[in-house]
Structure 1
Amino acid sequence: MKLTGLKSTENAHDDSIWAVTWIPETENRPALLLTGSLDETVRLWKPEGGDLIPANDPITGHCLGVVSVAAHPSGAIAASASLDSFVRVFDVDSNATVATLEAPPSEVWGMQFHPKGTILAVAGGGSGSIKLWDTSTWQLIDTLTVPRPEVPRPGDKNGSGKFVLSVAWSPDGRRLACGAMDGTIAIFDVAYAKFLHHLEGHFMPVRSLMYSPFEPRVLFSACDDTNVHMYDAEGKTLLGSMSGHENFVLSVDASPDGAAIVTCSSDRTVRLWDLKMRASVQTMKTHTDQVWGVAFRPLGGTALRTVLLASVSDDKSISLYDYS
């Protein structure tokens, strides 16, 4: 397995790019890349060869930086979350606003749609909760409160452990994982709105979570402690800890073939990890500043013969890679 660097798009935004995801293809168009920036805009990009072609003008609507983006599995709608405490849900093709979801100030961080598209889960920051929104009515249907760990966490004197940064759905949609500022990861049974247990091992902010696409029990975490963890999320077992980054690990994504994961870091690198070896096998240095997000293009359709990876950075650029 390897990554081959394609072309980087410089000055893709006017400020740091903190968020990236792929919007699945539809009958009328190919998959698109969605990015969000501290310049308060989101942008859509169409990959052509090794290049990214802007699919639209910058999309406005937020009054503070965009910290998270999410794509509905249908490819028809997407969402962007900002430090202005709003989530804007919009039609991908027309940019028409579908819904505007409001939370208390600075209470919107990572978010992800349910695998079937029925629910949008949003990490609630200092509220110590995950908010669940019904995507047919855009009504708030539940708030999952993250309990504090039984054993106090180092450095958690001010309750920072209640600050929720990241969320991830299991492939079957039965479980929801969330990562907190103090390093704990909480697992919920969504149908019963029930907290199940914590996953231990980290002691610093868990910035990103990703379930394996082929093993519903396996969860990957990216943490400020420079480590990437691999858990059996059902059995509460730490299966492995992978190290190699020299600074905060800010995002993790799993390859479509299930053989690898990719991470990015404040150390300005993107790393490819072989899951059988549980080791880093390649380091890409295409960015000149910390790298906030990585995302694999989803498989599907005759046009998607190549597995593409995108990364975004404080250097305002987007880098594309071929994964093989």
Structure 2
Amino acid sequence: MKLAGLKTAENAHDDSIWAAAWIPARENRPALLLTGSLDETVRLWHTDELSPAAPPSEGHALGVVSVAAHPGGAVAASASLDSFIRVFDVESNSSIATLEAPPSEVWNMQFDPKGTILAVAGGSSASVKLWDTSTWQLIDSLVIPRQEGSRPPDRAGGGRFVLSVAWSPDGRRLACGSMDGSISVFDVHRAKFLHHLEGHFMPVRSLVYSPLDSRVLFSACDDTHVHMFDAEGKSLVASMSGHASWVLSVDASPDGTAIATGSSDRTVRLWDLGMRASVQTLTTHADQVWSVAFRPPGGAVARAGRLASVSDDKSIALYDYS
């Protein structure tokens, strides 16, 4: 397996780019790349040449820290430090809904595999909010319990501040990463907390399940490690090291054989899951890499695997994955 640099767009935004997600292909168009920046805009990009696919989308009053795409490819969402989530139609850029959260409550969000629920990391509320995508009403709030033996939280939720969320590929489980390093796993349909996954002691910035196995979960943490968990058996399968600083983002390849990570050490790394080791380091960016994202399979012109990364240096990089 290998990543090969394809194209880099310098100054793709006017400020740091903190978020990236792929909008799946539809019958009338290929997949698109969605990026969000501290310049308060969201932008769409064609997948091969990194040319703008639409004018910048405005509507936030502060920086955009998370973006998410509905699996159907017609709808996307952006979350900002202004405490609002904007849900919009990809083709027309028209707003579908505006979801309100208290200040700085949204740091990460993700649609479930069927596209019926949007899960939103609830920040200092120490919870994950679940929104129904047919009505855009709040349907549940999953509260992160305190781990046994941990220090009591302060009034704002303390270390339970939720930074990241990930759905299992079967849509039955939701994993949530917190500031104190804990990872909580929920049975979504029963709205029931199942257990914590242990191994980190610093903020868990990003989570992703293997696309091939709903038991396997990967975590990216400020402790410079990437962990591989058996999320059902509650066990740490592997702890992978290589980054020199915080690991800010992790994503799994569609074929399930690799993961990619982005770090504040300014690198993107590719990891072989058979070897459970880093096999490639890319130094495309000049500042910390906030997000990495593999393009989902599908679409007539999707000739090869594709990875995107975005950075504080305002650039977007595309890589072929083979």
Q: TM-score range with shorter-chain normalisation? A: over 0.9
SS in 1 for 2:51: strand
1:89 matched to 2:87? The reply is: yes
Counting only pairs closer than 5 Å after superposition, residues 279-298 of structure 1 correspond to structure 2 as 279-298=277-296
Hey, what does 1:44 align to over in structure 2?
44
Partners of 2:282 and 2:158 in 1: CA distance: 33
Matching residue of 2:234 = 236
Matches within 5 A, 1:140-219: 140-152=138-150, 159-219=157-217
The amino acid of 2:79's aligned partner reads A
Matches within 5 A, 1:62-101: 62-101=60-99
2:283 maps to a residue whose letter is: K
Which residue of structure 2 lines up, in the alignment, with residue 272 of structure 1? 270
CA displacement at 1:161 relative to structure 2 = 1.5
Report the Cα distance in structure 1 between the residues aligned to 2:199 and 2:289, rounded to whole angstroms. Answer: 24
Give SS of 1:115's match.
coil
The AA in structure 2 aligned to 1:322 is D
Q: Is the 8 A contact 1:156 1:182 kept in 2?
A: no
Indicate the SS of the match to 2:166: strand
Tell me the distance in 2 between the aligned counterparts of 1:195 and 1:96. 36
Q: Distance in 1 between matches of 2:26 and 2:149?
A: 48
2:289 partner letter: V
Say how many residue pairs are matched.
321
TM-aligned CA deviation for residue 56 of structure 1: 1.1
Shift of 1:40: 0.3
Tell me the equivalent position of 2:106.
108
- SS of residue matched to 2:205: strand
The structure 1 segments of at least 4 consecutive aligned residues displaced by more than 2 Å after TM superposition are 155-160
Q: Does the CA-based 8 Å contact 2:153-2:160 persist in structure 1?
A: no
Aligned-pair CA distance for 1:109: 1.2
Q: Which residue in 1 is equivalent to 2:317?
A: 319
**SS at 1:120's partner residue?**
strand
TM-score calculated relative to the size of structure 2: 0.98
CA contact (8 A) 2:26 2:299 kept: no
Among all aligned residue pairs of Structure 1 and Structure 2, give the percentage whose two residues are the same amino acid: 77
- Counterpart Cα distance in 2 of 1:266 and 1:254: 19
* More moved, 296-305 vs 109-118: 296-305
8 Å Cα contact 2:87-2:95 kept in structure 1: yes
Q: Shift of residue 307 of structure 1? A: 0.6
The Cα of 1:77 is off from its aligned counterpart by: 0.2
In structure 2, what residue type is equivalent to 1:96?
Answer: S
Q: Distance in 1 between matches of 2:276 and 2:154?
A: 34
Could you say what secondary structure the match of 1:54 adopts?
coil
The Cα of 1:6 is off from its aligned counterpart by 1.2
CA–CA distance in structure 1, aligned partners of residues 160 and 226 of structure 2: 21
- Aligned residue for 1:204, secondary structure, equals coil
1:2 aligns with 2:7: no
Contact map agreement 2:219 2:226 (CA 8 A) in 1: yes
**Letter matched to residue 19 of structure 1:** A
Contact 2:27/2:299 (<8 A) preserved: no
Taking the aligned partners of 2:100 and 2:115, their CA distance within structure 1 comes to 20
State the SS of the aligned residue for 2:104: coil
Structure 2 distance, partners of 1:71, 1:104, is 22
**TM-score, length-normalised on structure 1?**
0.97
Structure 2 portions without partners, runs of 5+:
none
- The letter for the 2-side match of 1:56 is A
Alpha-carbon distance in 2 for matches of 1:27, 1:257: 22
Letter in 1 for 2:75: I
Q: Provide the rounded CA distance (Å) in 2 between the counterparts of 1:119 and 1:152.
A: 31
Q: Over residues 40-67 of structure 1, what are the superposed CA-to-partner deviations in whole Å (9 max), with x where a residue is unaligned?
A: 000000023xx20101111000000000
CA distance in 2, matches of 1:278, 1:298: 22
| Cα distance in 2 between the residues matched to 1:168 and 1:95 | 26
> Which aligned pairs between 1:249-268 and structure 2 lie closer than 5 A?
249-268=247-266
- Secondary structure at the aligned position of 2:47 is classed as strand
Secondary structure of the 2:159 match is helix
Cα shift at 1:305: 1.8
Q: Is the 1:189–1:196 Cα contact (8 Å) retained in structure 2?
A: yes
Q: What pairs with 1:298-309 in structure 2 (closer than 5 Å)?
A: 298-309=296-307
How far 1:151 moved relative to its partner?
A: 1.5
Which amino acid letter does the alignment assign opposite residue 139 of structure 2?
A: I
CA contact (8 A) 2:30 2:300 kept: no
Please give the alpha-carbon distance, in whole angstroms, between the structure 1 residues aligned to 2:153 and 2:4: 41
Instruction: State the superposition RMSD in angstroms.
Output: 1.1
Which letter does structure 1 place at the counterpart of 2:204? V
Gaps in structure 1 of 5+ consecutive residues: none
Q: CA deviation at 1:27?
A: 1.1
Aligned residue among 124, 134, 141 for 2:132:
134
